Structure 1
Amino acid sequence: MTVLPPELFNYRDLGGHSVPGGKLRTGLLFRSNAVVGLPNDIAVRLGLRTALDLREPGEKLAEPPTAGPAQVHEVELIQADPAAPHNLRPFTHWLAENRGHLLAEAVRVLAHEPMPTVLFCSSGKDRTGVLAALVQSALGVAEDAVIEDYARTEKLMPPDYLALALERSRRAGLPADQSLDDFGSPPDLLLAVLDGIRERHGDAAQYLVDHGLDRSDLDRLRERLVEI
């Protein structure tokens, strides 16, 4: 078993969950906080072939990804949009309601690029959390398991990381009214987001298709990740 550096506190497998007719394979798709400062020998042992970076240019410039031999793909979900809210709850809803085409693009990467793959943002919580939830939901993972995985991030965040996260936000120019509450992952928030997706699109799979993902891409991802 590869021992990860403590900086990768939110690195974990998205597989293992039951889905209709089978379960998600383990060892192929991972989520994480920013994959930076990862020693090359550990990156090699992890066997990663693809890294999907969801961060903004300033975040990547300040902390470039270090994923060893993995090919890094970038899908910037915020794109410096001034309309993006700065606080957790409105931001998470905004992401689902306004960045569907980019979330679909990220899923397209997951469907076609070599695995194992890790997807990540800064804390591996909001952007990563929404994308991970969409993937799991689209593949048929039960909603309570999807929400439990999302909420787990808050429990994994080291206390000293919260101060660092606030400092990053200040450096990025986010307003001073941010509080530690903005660095949680409350289950009711993701439930509300998934409810909104259901109301507007029926389910997560249709949400992705409605935002430009081809059904064949979703089928390909299912073939790669679901074992019967």
Structure 2
Amino acid sequence: MTTIDDRIGDDFSLSAPVNLRDLGGTPVDGGVLRSGVAIRADDLSTVGVADAAELVDAGLSTIIDLRTAGEVEITGRGPLADYPVAYHHLPLMTSIGEGMPQDGPFAIDHVQMGEMYARMVESAASQLATAVTVIALAPGATAFHCAAGRDRTGVLAALLLLALGASDDDIVADYSRTDPNMPAIQQRMKPVMGALMARLGFDLDDLSILSSSEPMDVSMRTMLARLRGRHGDALAPLRTAGLGDETVARLRDRAVVAG
């Protein structure tokens, strides 16, 4: 049977999402993450009809949507809504405009982005714990996504890999793989994000996100450092929110294979 990993390899290009990849092969404690368990992506609502069918045929059983209600309202769920795929809407923010100033140009650097990630883990720990639990219990492949597949998706990917015992360097390496995809992502997102920003009173062209010339891996390293500095364990907010050892053990049982 064709696997998810086969379908999203070099010979498979989704019609619209441009930041979709299986986390399989990432080194974790005791081996590597098995392919066909966890897939990270940008907005899956934009997937084409044929590609949606291929993903389901290849084993996609569950979708975790990390977008806000406003984003879902604009684009919906797309063709994958027509398939018997479990859907979990677990927004990590109430509004895409959280933290934005109400006047003047807006620019943040990678350190500030990492600090925002850490606050997101703390404020949305319950949703993130639920997401990790869904991945641990899902019968097939789980795809999780936001709009760009970098920030909210990157936070969940990092916490999932932490739960499996991945090193900081491997977590950062996965996060950084999004960087070359950003021009295509931004081009695809512009109509939706422009509409959302207009609702909030912002002009998308006036916003300058991640203006620093530093490499983007600074964001993820900052998130991990801030969480450990405040909690000791970067997973502590999720553990407090209900992520238990039994769930992590179940996740490891289905996700870790010898490297």
**TM-score of the pair, normalised by structure 2:** 0.77
* CA apart distance, 1:182: 6.8
Larger RCO (alpha carbons 8 Å, 6+ apart): 2
Percentage identity across aligned positions? 31
Q: 1:61 aligns with which of 73, 83, 86?
A: 73
Contact residue 27 and residue 116 of structure 1 kept, 8 A: yes
Letter in 2 for 1:51: I
Check 1:182–1:108 CA distance in 2 against 1; reply closer, same or farther (3 A cut).
Answer: farther
The equivalent residue for 2:3 is none
The equivalent residue for 1:21 is 30
RMSD: 2.6
Q: 2:48 aligns with which of 13, 17, 39?
A: 39
The equivalent residue for 1:85 is 99
Q: Is there any run of 5+ residues in structure 2 with no aligned partner, and where?
A: 1-5, 101-107
Does the residue aligned with 1:36 lie in a helix, a strand or coil?
helix
1:173 is aligned to 2:190: no
Q: 2:21 aligns with which of 12, 22, 44?
A: 12
Letter in 2 for 1:78: M
In 2, Cα distance between the equivalents of 1:63 and 1:183? 30
Does the residue aligned with 1:49 lie in a helix, a strand or coil?
strand
Q: 2:131 aligns with which of 106, 120, 136?
A: 106
Does the residue aligned with 1:51 lie in a helix, a strand or coil?
strand
The equivalent residue for 2:103 is none
In 1, Cα distance between the equivalents of 2:160 and 2:48? 28
How many positions carry a matched residue from both structures?
227
The equivalent residue for 2:169 is 144
Check 1:75–1:139 CA distance in 2 against 1; reply closer, same or farther (3 A cut).
Answer: same
In 2, Cα distance between the equivalents of 1:39 and 1:213? 35
Q: Is there any run of 5+ residues in structure 1 with no aligned partner, and where?
A: none
In 1, Cα distance between the equivalents of 2:192 and 2:73? 16
**TM-score of the pair, normalised by structure 1:** 0.87
In 2, Cα distance between the equivalents of 1:195 and 1:126? 16
Letter in 2 for 1:160: Q
In 1, Cα distance between the equivalents of 2:52 and 2:130? 25
The equivalent residue for 1:223 is 253
Does the residue aligned with 2:50 lie in a helix, a strand or coil?
helix
Letter in 2 for 1:178: L
Letter in 1 for 2:67: R
Check 1:142–1:225 CA distance in 2 against 1; reply closer, same or farther (3 A cut).
Answer: same
Check 1:37–1:107 CA distance in 2 against 1; reply closer, same or farther (3 A cut).
Answer: same
